[in-house]
Structure 1
Amino acid sequence: MKATWEKIEKNKVVLNVEVDAEQVAVALDKAFKKVAAKANIPGFRKGKVPRQIFEAKFGVESLYQDALDILLPEVYVQAVEESSIEPVDRPDVEIEQFGKGQALIFKATVIVKPEVQLGEYKGLEVEQKADAVSEDEIAEELKRLQQRHAELVVLEEGTAENGDIAVIDFEGFVDGVPFEGGKGESHSLELGSGSFIPGFEEQVVGLAKGEEKDVNVTFPEEYHSEELKGKEAVFKVTVRDIKRKNLPELDDEFAKDVSEFDTLDEFKQDIVTRLQERKQKSNEQELESSLVEKAAANAEVEVPEAMITTEVEQMYTEFGNRLQMQGMDLAMYLQFTGQDEATVKQQMRTDAARRVRNNLVIEAIAKAESISASEEEINEELERLSSQYQRSTDELRAILSANGSLDTLQNDLTSRKTIAFLVENSKAVEVA
């Protein structure tokens, strides 16, 4: 096989590939065996028809597509490896010659990973924030813990307020006609959470148990349902129950109930320690992100749309996984927010482009500084994962190798080392 390539645009190349006739013949043989196993020819059992009789009846051309399907993926990958290019999208293949007794000649136009022209990335100035914890932050953490451990009490008298849980029946109508998905019974809605259509929760505030009300809302223009976008709707709402959070007192008993400490003072000191650790980690991550952003801003690189689209898909999948961990799925999220998949993905494009650009710059810095993850560092990471997932390092290595994730692991470790290099070579400016 012969493969050459030429750049036709900034991030686009054309592979010119020639595959010898012998390989084409092998592919045609495999195609024949595949097709003959299903061919129905009188006088022959399936899979037993001679090649010359098959070709006489159907023509050798009937094997061409199957042969190409067998041959192209293999030789394309080989051509990419020989040419040392890095495609980031599927190729556009044009067959120039293919047939029995002939060489296969084709062109593959493909988008490749862009070149990065690095700018300044050493000696970058970044703000280094203090790790001190304020009294307001301690109070906010205690308030959050109060909310988490609050007792829900059914309100027999009075009206619903923000922060209450209203248990409601509802049915929505547009132009007097009920619509699909607009009805619910005994639905628990935290008022002020913003989980329903804008304007809905505000109109439930002030209602008492057993009270009914017509709630008037307008669906957002970007709502996921085409039939409801921008439409005015009326929800007939009945309040079944109102539940209010009864916050526990902040005293020693509270500390005993929610921690291993006997006094509130001891518990507060532990909160300070944990908040400091959290803030330190957050500040470190912020510093690293700032350095990467600055290094990327100083570099020149044209990110292909194909890479951004791929990153958006990855981000959307990650978002769905996070929702599942919170007990929600994407369909439910889209319904609650009044958005559709295309809208959410469009919102992700800016961050996706930034992530791709930053990753390309980190990769370029690693190459310029000869930074890479050593085998020892890979083994150390496998040891850490082994402890986390309770599986042997050999088993983890085999799993990662089988699904192609071992290279990803190595790349992640290399990225971490590169970011650490940026931190070591930066100039920190302390701020309050």
Structure 2
Amino acid sequence: MKSAVETLNPTRVRLTVEVPFEELKPSLDAAYKKINQQVTVPGFRKGKIPARIIDQRFGRGAVLEEAINDALPKFYTEAVNEGELSVLGQPEIDITEFNDNEQLKFTAEVEIRPKFEIPDYSGIEVTVDAVEVSDEDVDKSVEQLRERFASTTPVERAAAEGDVVVIDLEAKVDGEVLEDGVAKGVTYTIGSGQLLDGIDEAVTGLEAGASATFTSELKGGSAAGREAEVKVDVTAVQARELPALDDDFAQLASEFDTLEELRADSVKRLERIKKYDQATQAQEKVLDALLELVEVPVPEKLLKDEIETRKHNLEHHQFPMMGLNWESFLEREGKTAEEYDAELEEQAKKGIKTQFVLDELVSKENLSVNQEELTEHLMRRAASSGMSPDQFAQAVVEGGQVPMLVGEVARGKALAAVVEAATVKDTNGEVVDLDEEDETAETVEASAEEATEAAAESEEKNEG
């Protein structure tokens, strides 16, 4: 077999392959054997029909077609390996020349990973938010904890903002009550904004036993996105009472004896959160700076497939949960379809470039993944998927996705290495040492893995 590679553009090549007829013999033998098992000819036992009889009865062309279908993938793979190509997706194959007992010629056009150099990235410098916890931050944190320990007391008066009401709901569309439009005994805090638009105005001022009707766009269910006439019956009004901010509250809501100790712990907890956010911000900004240093061609078909995958996931997985369609989604985002498509294309390009650049870094820096790192990543992925680690691991193995997970971890390590080499300063001009705590360093690596997961999954489907 002979093969030649013609570069069509930085991300697409054409392979020209010539195969002598004798190299098709194993596939011809396999074709005769396969046809032998599928047909019957009077006077011959199944599987024992001579080749010449098969040619006479079913035509030599049928055998040659079967043989070529069997042989093409093998010769294509040999040509790819010979050309040392990193292909993406399935090839477009065209048989240009073939006659019985003569050589087979075919071409295969396929997208490939682009080749590029990673420049020196040690000069990258980014600025992130300083870790500062204000009294207002602590007050807000303690107040949120206080809200969780609020109690309710039934009252005989009109409902007001902040009260808790128990309500029955009935939704009609075009005068018909929806099958899934009836709910009873719903507990709702007025002003929380957690139910239908217009419900706050409808129930404010009502006492137990009173009703009101209002119009609202349904957010979910069988009539999601449609205007409905909603009847609300108030069955109870309850006043919320917040516990006093004192040492008794600290003992009720935490393991601390005093409010002062509780506030001090809130400061530490908020600092940890802000450090986590700071590390994530550093990773995102360093990644953006790294991508600006490298010119990476993006394969057209891979980009198209990535955009289609993202749209499909949005339409068929996220929209149903949010009670949205394309029209209501675009309205919520405040964008036209053209604006959203342009934004989605940029996001997809960035995801693909990110994977290419980090994969190149993995190779350049000779990064590897050990079992402990893979297990930790698997645990994080399992938690985000809602599956147990054992279930997730089984699904990964059965789906042949272990290499994909290894790739995600390796890319996380690559980006963490770039962040480590970069200069990160906060808004006060102070240099941020992300290696100061192991937990912060792990945050950079974990968030780097998450940053590349979506593109990784998309490209994994397109790898040849």
Q: With structure 2 as the length reference, what TM-score do the two structures score? A: 0.69
Contact 1:168/1:187, CA 8 A, preserved across alignment: yes
1:281 is the counterpart of 2:299 = no
Unaligned runs of at least 5 residues, structure 2? 334-339, 383-387, 430-464
SS of the residue 2:298 aligns to: coil
Residue 134 (structure 1) shift: 1.5
Please give the per-residue CA displacement for 1:79-134, whole angstroms capped at 9, x wherever unaligned. Answer: 32322222233222212234653443221212222344666733222114322322
**CA distance, structure 1, for counterparts of residue 182 and residue 65 of structure 2:** 54
1:381 is the counterpart of 2:378 = no
**CA distance, structure 2, for counterparts of residue 71 and residue 287 of structure 1:** 51
Please give the per-residue CA displacement for 1:41-99, whole angstroms capped at 9, x wherever unaligned. Answer: 55556545444333322223334554444333333333323222222332222122346
Say which of 357, 362, 376 aligns to 2:358.
362
Change in 2 beyond 3 A, CA 1:122/1:44: same
1:294 is the counterpart of 2:289 = yes
Residue 422 (structure 1) shift: 4.1
Match of 1:24 in 2: 24
Please give the per-residue CA displacement for 1:337-379, whole angstroms capped at 9, x wherever unaligned. Answer: 3448997995754433222223333344555xx31214xx525
SS of the residue 2:85 aligns to: coil
SS of the residue 2:110 aligns to: strand
Match of 1:326 in 2: none
Amino acid at match of 1:372: N
Match of 2:97 in 1: 97
Change in 2 beyond 3 A, CA 1:420/1:25: same
Match of 1:215 in 2: 214
SS of the residue 1:286 aligns to: helix
Match of 1:333 in 2: 321
The 5 Å alignment of 1:234-273 reads: 234-238=229-233, 247-273=242-268
**CA distance, structure 2, for counterparts of residue 44 and residue 249 of structure 1:** 96
Say which of 407, 410, 413 aligns to 2:410.
413
Contact 1:97/1:105, CA 8 A, preserved across alignment: yes
The 5 Å alignment of 1:315-326 reads: none
**CA distance, structure 2, for counterparts of residue 127 and residue 109 of structure 1:** 45
Residue 317 (structure 1) shift: 9.3
The 5 Å alignment of 1:157-196 reads: 157-159=157-159, 161=161, 164=164, 167-174=167-174, 176=175, 183-186=181-184, 188=186
Q: What percent of counterpart residues are identical?
A: 24
Amino acid at match of 1:7: T
Residue 157 (structure 1) shift: 4.8
**CA distance, structure 1, for counterparts of residue 238 and residue 45 of structure 2:** 75
Amino acid at match of 2:367: A
Unaligned runs of at least 5 residues, structure 1? 324-328
Contact 2:95/2:107, CA 8 A, preserved across alignment: yes
Residue 148 (structure 1) shift: 4.2
Contact 2:121/2:421, CA 8 A, preserved across alignment: no
Contact 2:163/2:238, CA 8 A, preserved across alignment: no
SS of the residue 1:62 aligns to: helix
Aligned residues: 409
Q: Indicate the larger mover: 203-212 or 11-20.
A: 203-212
Cα RMSD over matched residues? Answer: 4.6
Residue 289 (structure 1) shift: 1.2
Residue 283 (structure 1) shift: 0.5
Please give the per-residue CA displacement for 1:141-165, whole angstroms capped at 9, x wherever unaligned. Answer: 2233334455577777533747857
Contact 1:219/1:232, CA 8 A, preserved across alignment: yes
Match of 1:140 in 2: 140
Amino acid at match of 1:91: P
Match of 2:348 in 1: 352
Q: With structure 1 as the length reference, what TM-score do the two structures score? A: 0.73
1:431 is the counterpart of 2:428 = yes
